[in-house]
């Protein structure tokens, strides 16, 4: 690990400086540690304030407030020959995806995901991993500071430098750990969503999944989808926080009350009644849904009901899942959850048992065993106070 005093720390606040930094990045290393600082209080999309990049010998602090057009950096993000290392990088990558107008960064490695695969917990924090693995205690007092202010304070710069300075050795340790356990290919599967625009920026048509309705009717579900799609699309178009348009609880209240006149919206707590344009639009959306014939409404998604016998089998699958997860030293939810098990088990034809987690390394480690258990090719039995998997053939 390069000592901090041996690294050249460069503050970049001009386009000329950015071009120089990019040249160094392209020439000096095959992988970069990348982080961002941003503000997300009064906008839908995060406001990029700072990009930190660590190469082998340099740490660049790229001022995205002073450099209003950081697009030259995009060629680093889209260079397949340069690996970009993040920790819990979804929001960072969302920022870049928005700035690149739907294009995505490629060749990504995320040390938080790697830590989960390596058995360090479901959502291991950066500072805790650095302390545990590198024996370095990081000062996180500047985490919630105002990153839009200029000039940046020295403690802000120090915080920003540390976030990428220690990310490089953390990455190297994770690669060794995953390589030793044969899980590097697992990592390649896990980062695919981070290189997908539809995962990073929510399609408005999918925004309803953020809210939960208890036993919704088809009509309730239709109102939910219509209002959340309108809210997400409007928030993205106007770069406004979705809660500034309609809070989640207001949408749920509208669904429950289903107002038949605009005046009834006034009775809903926290509804922005004084915004006449919004009020009229919301009411027209609700009314349009209420006029849809019942037989044209889509039923809400629900988990299939299992028979008593399949409920017993579900408990066996849960046990098998826990055994596999314990053996791999990972959280069971990283492999599959109860919903996956129920959907998979509900299919009458084994060839129709399709769930999104039943592929790749998850199939090899768990779902293949689940198939064999249901097919009677393996069994679970107790031996010396332990439950073991035994072949029946």
Q: Is the peptide bond before 286 cis (omega within 30 degrees of 0)?
A: no
For residue 275, the domain's CATH number is 1.10.150.80
Give residue 301's pLDDT: 75
Give the number of domains in the chain: 3
Say whether both 40 and 187 belong to one domain. Answer: yes
Note whether 372 and 313 are same-domain residues. yes
In a domain? residue 179 = yes
274 and 340 assigned to the same domain: no
Whether 216 maps to a domain, the answer reads yes
Tokens of 364: 């090899």
CATH number of the domain that 46 lies in? 3.30.420.10
Residue 333 placed within a domain: yes
The Cα diameter of the chain in Å comes to 72
| Residue at a domain's end among 249, 269, 296 | 296
Q: Are residues 90 and 185 in the same domain?
A: yes
The verdict on 347 and 251 lying in the same domain is no
Query: Does any domain span residue 65?
Result: yes
158 lies in some domain: yes
Domain extent for 379: 308-391
pTM for the predicted model, two decimal places: 0.90
- 212 in any annotated domain: yes
Same domain, 230 and 291: yes
**Two structure tokens written together for 328:** 């791999």
Domain assignment of residue 303, yes or no:
no
Q: Of 137, 167, 200, which closes a domain?
A: 200
pLDDT, position 393 = 79
DSSP 137: -
Task: Give the number of other CB atoms < 10 A from CB of residue 385.
Answer: 5
Say if strands 31-39 and 8-12 run parallel, antiparallel, or are unpaired: unpaired
d(CA 260, CA 257): 9
Same domain, 173 and 271: no
Torsion of CA 59, 64, 68, 72, to 10 degrees: 40
Q: What is the DSSP letter of 300?
A: P
Does residue 135 share a domain with residue 17? Answer: yes
- The tokens 């390394």 sit on which residue? 361
Question: What integer pLDDT is reported at residue 355 of this predicted model?
Answer: 78
User: Does residue 315 sit in the same domain as residue 188?
Assistant: no
Same-domain status, 222 and 346? no
Contact 36, 50 (CB under 8 A): yes
Does 82 fall in a domain? yes
* Mean pLDDT (10-residue bins), the chain, 393 residues: 75 98 93 96 95 97 97 97 97 96 96 96 89 92 88 96 97 98 96 94 93 89 97 97 97 95 94 95 97 90 87 96 96 94 83 76 95 92 90 86
User: Is residue 67 located within the same domain as residue 163?
Assistant: yes
**Torsion of Cα atoms, 172 then 173 then 179 then 180, to 10°:** 150
Q: What is the pLDDT of residue 5?
A: 66
**Do residue 251 and residue 144 come from a single domain?**
no
**What's the Rg (C-alpha) of the chain?**
25
């Amino acid at each position: 690990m390069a000592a901090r005093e041996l690294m050249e720390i460069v503050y970049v606040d001009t386009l000329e400086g950015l071009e120089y930094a990019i040249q160094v990045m392209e020439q000096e290393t095959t992988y970069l540690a990348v982080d961002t600082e941003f503000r997300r209080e009064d906008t839908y999309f995060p406001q990029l304030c700072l990009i930190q990049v660590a190469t082998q010998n340099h740490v660049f602090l790229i001022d995205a407030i002073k450099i209003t057009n950081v697009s030259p950096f995009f060629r680093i993000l889209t260079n397949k020959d340069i690996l970009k290392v993040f920790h819990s990088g979804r929001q960072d990558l969302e920022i870049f995806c928005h700035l690149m107008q739907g294009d995505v960064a490629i060749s990504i490695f995320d040390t938080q995901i790697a830590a989960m695969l390596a058995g360090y917990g479901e959502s291991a924090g950066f500072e805790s991993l650095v302390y545990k693995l590198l024996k370095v205690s990081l000062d996180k007092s500047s985490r919630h500071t105002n990153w839009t202010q200029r000039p940046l304070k020295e403690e802000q710069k120090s915080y920003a430098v540390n976030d990428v300075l220690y990310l490089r050795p953390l990455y190297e340790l994770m690669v060794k750990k995953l390589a030793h356990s044969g899980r590097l290919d697992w990592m390649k599967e896990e980062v695919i969503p981070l290189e997908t625009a539809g995962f990073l920026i929510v399609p408005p048509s999918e925004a309803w999944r953020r809210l939960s309705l208890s036993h919704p009717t088809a009509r309730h579900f239709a109102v939910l989808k219509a209002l959340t799609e309108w809210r997400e699309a409007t928030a993205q178009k106007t770069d406004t926080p979705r809660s500034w348009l309609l809070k989640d609880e207001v949408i749920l209240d509208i669904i429950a009350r289903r107002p038949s006149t605009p005046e009834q919206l006034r009775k809903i707590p926290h509804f922005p009644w004084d915004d006449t344009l919004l009020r009229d639009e919301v009411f027209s959306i609700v009314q349009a849904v209420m006029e849809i014939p019942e037989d044209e409404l889509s039923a809400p998604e629900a988990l299939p009901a299992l028979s008593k016998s399949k409920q017993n089998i579900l408990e066996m699958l849960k046990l098998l899942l826990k055994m596999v997860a314990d053996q791999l030293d990972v959280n069971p939810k990283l492999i599959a959850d109860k919903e996956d098990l129920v959907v998979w088990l509900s299919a009458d034809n084994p060839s129709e048992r399709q769930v999104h987690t039943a592929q790749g390394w998850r199939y090899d480690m768990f779902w293949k065993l689940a198939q064999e258990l249901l097919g009677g090719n393996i069994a679970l039995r107790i031996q010396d106070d332990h439950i073991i998997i035994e072949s029946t053939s």
